[in-house]
Amino acid sequence: MQRRTFLKTTAAALAAPSLAASADGPGRYPSRPITLIVAYVAGGSTDQRARQLARFMASALGQPVIVENRPGANGNIGTDAVARAEPDGYTIGMGNLAPLAVNPALYRKTSFDPITQLSLIALIERGPLMLMVPAESSYRTVADLLEGGRRKPGGLSYGSSGTGSAHHLSGELLRSMTKTDLVHIPYKGGAAAVVALMGNQLDFVFEPMYSAMPSMKSGRLRALAITSEHRSPVAPGIPTMAEAGLPGFHIENWQGLIGPAGMPPATVQVLNATLNRALADRDIRAQMLAQGNEIGGGSPEQFAAFVKTESERWRAVIAANGIQPE
């Protein structure tokens, strides 16, 4: 079901100088509401970030920004809607790891090419995952976990929010690097996998840091390692996977702002500059950093290069492990 939220600007924002004046001359952009498509369900992390950014963008641009949820097919449905939209800047979207860098290699055919059929406007944020086990688990380090996997008949079980998700890819990367027997159990959402882990139905889960922290602080789950290249200032006592004995193990969930290919360069620049202003906002930055995320930003060219690198990386992992959609 589509959910649309209308975010109105304040009188002060309308009176303020607008970045929009730099685009499209007399018919300056934007001159009407903008739709921001989220390829996931309302209430999730991507949806929450989209609504936070939409409020800022509405004030900065002087037009409402309408958040519209189009979930399904691991993000493909909403991303395809962005790719097929009129390239006038009035339909944009949240672009995520799965549809932009994983799904093109995972599915035999997708209806869009992230590199040629989308405008990659800017990276929003990157966030690590944490390798979590039940609080009462005997595994206290990554080495313990891997040794347990060698001894356990049938291997270790881990859960994810679905095939191709960051949770799943982290498990596949662990399998590939350690040759440990792992059993992947997909759930309808990461929260369901965490509930199963708390109930000792799974051996471990790779969980995004923002949602792993509450379970860790409550004592219901224990973190063995984090998937970022460096320790997080939010949880400095948790070692990286590299420090835990797996150099080169690095994965982050990420998202950015996208639009259809063929948008006027001036329009792309307006949106890029507006997003970079949003990412410099004190409140937005504080929330991102508190969740353990790394703040994005930068140019469209930098975001495009990042997506290309991520696509090549995960294509290799998917091919090497024979990962298929379920």
Q: What is the pLDDT of residues 250-299, one digit of tens each?
A: 999 999 999 999 999 999 999 999 999 999 999 999 999 999 999 999 99
- 257 pairs with which residues across the strands? 94, 122
Q: Which two tokens stand for residue 224?
A: 């063995």
Mean per-residue pLDDT, 196-207: 96
Cα–Cα distance, 19 to 271 (Å, whole number) = 9
Q: What is the pLDDT of residue 323?
A: 80
pTM value is: 0.87
- Cα torsion 161, 249, 212, 53 to 10°: value is -80
Cα–Cα distance, 107 to 73 (Å, whole number) = 10
DSSP for 235-259 reads: BTTSPBTTTTT-TT---EEEEEEEE
> With bands split at pLDDT 50, 70 and 90, how would you rate the model's confidence at 3?
very low
The residue assigned the tokens 């347990």 is: 148
φ, ψ (nearest 5 deg) of residue 149: -65, -35
Q: Is the pLDDT of residue 47 over 80?
A: yes
Distance of CA 7 to the CA centre of its chain: 23
DSSP for 97-163 reads: HIIIIIHHHHSS--S--TTTSEEEEEEEEEEEEEEEEETT-S--SHHHHHHHHHHSTT-EEEEESST
Q: Among 138, 135, 150, 96, which residue's Cα sits nearest to residue 118? A: 96
The answer to whether the beta carbons of residues 254 and 125 sit under 8 Å apart is: yes
Q: What is the pLDDT of residue 11?
A: 32
Q: What is the pLDDT of residue 209?
A: 94
| C-alpha distances out from residue 218 to 70, 134, 212, 213, Å | 33, 12, 10, 9
Mean per-residue pLDDT, 12-39: 66
